[in-house]
Structure 1
Amino acid sequence: MIRKFLQEQKNDWEEGLPFLLFAARTAVQDSLGCSPASLLFGHEVRGPLKMVKEKWMEEEVQVPSLQYLSQVQEKLVTAWEIATENLESSQKIMKVKYDRKAKPRSFSPGHQVLVYLPVPGEPLMAKYQGPYTILEKNSSLNYIIQTPEKRKTKRPVHINALKPFYHRVSIASYATVGVEEIERIFPQPELPL
């Protein structure tokens, strides 16, 4: 939303930014079921159009301070309860959608794995490094791996940072094997005459 606004308002974007942020903060969020501003303040924020409507309709009524504070507190509690319910249901829906594509993974002690670790000297970069050996399984999601060349020789790792390591078999390793052995490993199909 902000990117699109900036692309359209190339010359005077900074003047319209507060209005864009106001619109974003007062828009109803699907996951919460209400706007962030109503969660923060306990009521809908009065925008320019609402103020014009109130002046036109003369809806403004004076409320005593203590009564107003108790009303705001009740609204905040109600808004918090509604937002919590909506957020929980939204999280359940997101989990179901995620679990459709998720595949269960598990490793055992002794398995060789690659680990997604930060690159030294590059704090915002990470890559798969290894292979490292799994020493123990703390839970279904956490493992202790052995990292002998690192400062920490043992480190806990979440399963999301692990992937299995597969040893490559090179063709060069077959160079020392005789022709008969290669034909046994890779049989040639017989062609019809």
Structure 2
Amino acid sequence: MTLKKLEHEGGGSWEDNLPYVLFAARHTPSKTTGYSPFKLLYAHSTWAPLDILYDAWADPAHVDWVEELPKIQKNLQAAWTVAQATEVATQERVKIKFDQTTHSRSFEKGDQVLVLPMGATRPLETHFSSPHKILGRRRDLNYLVDCRKRRAKWLHRNLLKLYQARNEEAPKEDTNS
């Protein structure tokens, strides 16, 4: 998508734009991690284009970089702009897909909740503990839960599940049919 967009907007073939797109993708810090893929892989920052040009200027056998510099800057800027737009579109698409499968959990003071024990050693065998009462709320994420024998604790909503008591009475079947 990015190569097609650059080819359409800036001209030139995709082979000419490929190094610039790859550079922009590998060296642009991600908004989610704050680091570029290059830095995460090699644990140090990459050389910037001016660092490369400095080495090339030191060696007179290289191409005339004074003429090439504006072209490189233009291509890098175009690749960076397209990479940023693609990243924003991808993040929005992923968020929409994620939001389709999630539901908001909120509790009110006095609600009965089940508590997932923290530090469970076997994640597939975890069980919620018996019902506890919500005593308070801090914003939408943290709730003060009465832990009976211990002090009340502030717990994140991901550790809580609304308690629904079972009806002791079995549902009556319709005998008219």
Q: TM-score, normalized by length of structure 2? A: 0.48
Q: Relative contact order (alpha carbons < 8 A, sep ≥ 6): 1 or 2 greater? A: 2
Q: TM-score, normalized by length of structure 1? A: 0.45
Q: Which has the larger radius of gyration?
A: 1
